[in-house]
Structure 1
Amino acid sequence: MALRTAEWIFDTKHDRYPVASHLFLIDQDERVLFMRRAGSGYADGQLGVPAGHVDLGETVTESIIRETGEELGIKLDAGDLVFAGTMFRRSQEPRVDYFFTARTWEGEPTIREPHKCTELVWASSDDLSSDVIPYLVRALDNARTGTVFDEHGW
């Protein structure tokens, strides 16, 4: 059976997993920007990174550029992004995560969604706080070691 919309055909016989994009924003001192999560019901109080679901009709890179602008108010171009890995992860639901790094951007990161983020924290990837969400610690380590695919939480 297939579900049709004006532009898309969906195979409804198979499970689908949410797809998300994540960004490790790295400054000149090799620190990563983390955001203290709030108000989402998932990992509130812990440190995450700019991230979000990939919307229908949007590419993964378009998603992280949009999300980073919404969450931090900075401008990224696709050329600023370096692919850093993929993770098939068990969370509240199974999901597929794409990770990128960026070392250049326009603007100063600021909290643009205070109902979702209460603090910005620059941290060395060699000395991460225990309140960084665990799958992000692993994904960052994967990015540093060149591991482009991982499965986590199964």
Structure 2
Amino acid sequence: MADPQYVFDTKHDRYPLAVHVFLVQQGKTLLMRRAGSGYADGQLGLPAGHVELGETPTACAVRELAEELGIWIAPSDLIPGATWFRMSLEPRVDIFFTIRSWKGTPKIREPHKCTELVWTDPQAMPADALEFLALAWNDAQNGRVLREYGFVSVPA
């Protein structure tokens, strides 16, 4: 929850900020079949969510993993991977994390948002995964800290 003293600056454009988490176990990463959001429904994506006003990205990741999968993590176990400025339905900022340990067994806790959990080799993402996941995995594992994705370059 936001600090009651927090003042939102309305003088600047804002972009949605989201976190995405690669849960890794025995060389596989967990993907979730999206449903009910109106964006990429039916495709496989990562556990993810939007950062709420006054919330940090790590706090968002902890909250989303508990809400979506019923697992609990220590914020210090999150490994920051890559940050993207990505064109989707609108420009947005995405932060990708990797985590290798958690408490609990991942299960679908929001069936109106997710219809299936799939463990997959992150080096060979399924054809029905969001098109940017393989590249995000590569960036997260290889230290690329910033990518601008999906924008059409304008000639100078």
Candidates 99, 112, 128, aligned match of 1:102? 99
Q: TM-score w.r.t. structure 2 length?
A: 0.91
TM-score by length of 1: 0.92
TM-fit CA distance, 1:130: 1.1
Gaps of 5+ in 1: none
Match among 11, 17, 23 for residue 25 of structure 1? 23
- Offset at residue 67 of structure 1 (A): 0.3
Deviation, structure 1 residue 128:
1.1
Give the count of matched residue pairs: 149
Q: Report the CA distance between 1:18 and its aligned residue.
A: 0.7
Segments of 4+ moved more than 6 angstroms: none
CA RMSD of aligned residues (A): 1.3
Query: Is the CA contact 2:123–2:134 (under 8 Å) kept in the aligned structure 1?
Result: no
1:51 to 45, 48, 57: 48
Please show how residues 28-107 of structure 1 align to structure 2 within 5 Å. Answer: 29-107=26-104
In 1, distance between residues paired with 2:5 and 2:49? 23
Larger relative strand fraction? 1
What are the residue-to-residue correspondences of 1:9-24 with 2, within 5 Å? Answer: 9-24=7-22
Offset at 1:137?
Answer: 2.0
| 1:118 Cα deviation from its structure 2 partner | 0.4
- Structure 1 counterpart of 2:16, which letter? P
The residue that corresponds to 1:130 in the other structure is 127
Cα offsets for 1:121-151 (capped at 9, x unmatched): 0000122111110122211111122211111
Q: How far, CA to CA, are the matches of 1:136 and 1:95 in structure 2?
A: 16
List per-residue Cα deviations over 1:108-130 (Å, max 9, x = no partner): 00000000000000000122111
Aligned AA for 1:10? F
- Percent identical residues: 56
